[in-house]
Homo-oligomer: A and B are copies of this chain.
Amino acid sequence: MPLQIARSVLATSGLFPDFGRFHQWLTDQKRHASMEVRVVPLDELAGWHTHPVTGNIAHESGRFYSVEGLDVRIEQTFAGSWQQPILNQPEVGILGILVKEFDGVLHFLMQAKVEPGNHNGLQLSPTVQATRSNFTRVHRGARVPYLDYFRDTSRHQVLADVRQSEQGSWFHRKRNRNMVVRVEEDIELRDGFCWLTLGQLHRLLAADDLVNMDARTVLSCLPFAATGLSGVYGSTVASPFTSCLVRSCELEAAEPHTMNALLGWITEVRSGLDSHAERIPLRDVEGWRRADGRIARPDGAFFTVVGVQVSAVGREVRTWSQPMIQPCDEGVCAFLVKKADGVLQVLVQAKAEPGFVDVVELAPTVQCTPSNHDALPGGERPPYLTEVLDARPEQIRFDAVHSEEGGRFFHARNRYLVVEVAEDFDAVRPGYRWVTLAQLSALLRHSHYLNVEARSLVACLHTLSVRPRPAFESAAED
């Protein structure tokens, strides 16, 4: 299967023969699906109420999610202990991509979806992106298309099926089920959906704000790692960098002790960290204030809880209201990578976030909102941020701005970077570790190892598996 995935990575032409046709289709979708989003006071959200005692904001149905408070104490973080608002969404939803072979090449079924938090409207999402409330139809909406392929997989081949965490600073123990299911049978292609090869998706990941967070996290869980990849990719698509990257995907089974050491390191970090995160009433959260229809800190740092009112125009008109988290600024998520003995290594960070189920997950080398640190008194820059922001152009292997979940976060964007450092770069601090891509793939078969920002970056990193060839734009002339 990993070899078939590699062949799809090589394919920049598929059911869409070229970028022009894809773009035409996307423009067409934009015409059919628009959304009007207005920021409104939290007190005016229809269907949501504030609990008179706790101050928690919840939906009248008791489903969806609620805004509550969290009391946090984590050793070894710069803040130590604090309180904050947090989204509580205990349901496990499904993020699923259907895969099918056309003309010998695996294609991935993507949906053009508008979400209220997207700053640009339409983005590509997985085939299915459904909360449990969606598919038990609490909101009495339409049936979720293609859902049955993921609810009963017995006739299909499951390439990935694993619950993964989402933003641990904004969500309390949120998990979604990330699934990739391959089907053999004919599938009706509905309006708003399209089949793309991985090579095409990889080109689109290089663009800003086009492939949404849910699509990125599902793509990162694909079984990319295997021996024999170099053979499939071949030398025509190889540069020294891509050769090292592909070799990095091949190296896990061969190095059990290294994998043992990696697992042992994660165990050690998790065992040693004294942490505590308990839900408290939103009203009691210190340092935050509900005023003027929003919940914010006096200094405006971190994020604000805002209300939005949405009118979606598709085949039917739907309007609804909801609270959302609006971060104070754009963030930076970056992997430092280096070639070492012909293998690409990736520097990961063991990061504690208050919403994690299991204390610590592996995160990008740098994951922060730089302006938060600039604002703090005596605040140092986070480790390695200087290496990322001051990188020379030839060091920057990947650089695109992507949106975070547009269903919960309002205009939340991160700049995702892959920055190559010299082979002798060995300034590794405690809490950081060099790993191979195959090791990351092995960890991604299980829950709670890579956080959502690291998974997004893994998806971005795989776009570098082949040397840039004639772009998707001109693929028809290949």
Contact = CB atoms under 8 A, between A and B. Distances in A.
A162 B92 contact: no
Interface stretch (A40-48, A109-117, A263-271): A263-271
A256 B159 CA distance: 10
A253 interface: yes
A285 interface: no
Contacts of A129: none
Contact of A159 (B94, B223, B260, B270): B260
Given A158-B260, A158-B261, A260-B159, A177 B357 contact: no
A412 to B, nearest CB: 25
Contacts of A94: 271
A161 B223 CA distance: 25
A270 B448 CA distance: 13
Contacts of A402: none
Contact of A264 (B161, B175, B271, B272): B161
B357 A267 contact: no
B357 A161 contact: no
Contacts of A446: 263, 446
Contact of A163 (B267, B445, B447): B267
Contacts of A162: 263, 267
A224 B159 CA distance: 27
A98 B177 CA distance: 39
A161 B447 contact: no
Contacts of A1: 256
A257 B447 CA distance: 18
B358 A161 contact: no
- Which of A157, A357, A358, A446 is packed against the most chain B CB atoms within 10 Å? A446
Interface residues of A, number: 34
Contact of A161 (B160, B256, B263, B448): B263
Nearest to A257: B157
A153 interface: yes
Nearest to A157: B257
Interface string A228-258: 0000000000000000000000000100110
Given A263-B445, A263-B446, A446-B446, A268 B357 contact: no
Interface string A159-202: 11111000000000001010000000000000000000000000
A86 B362 CA distance: 31
Nearest to A181: B264
A270 B163 contact: yes
A257 B153 CA distance: 13
A12 B219 CA distance: 50
A183 to B, nearest CB: 15
A94 B272 CA distance: 11
Contacts of A90: 276
- Which of A163, A267, A272 is packed against the most chain B CB atoms within 10 Å? A267
A158 B357 contact: no
B357 A271 contact: no
Interface in A446-466: 446-448
A162 B446 CA distance: 14
13 contacts: A92-B272, A157-B257, A159-B260, A160-B260, A161-B263, A162-B263, A177-B271, A260-B445, A263-B445, A263-B446, A267-B447, A357-B357, A357-B358
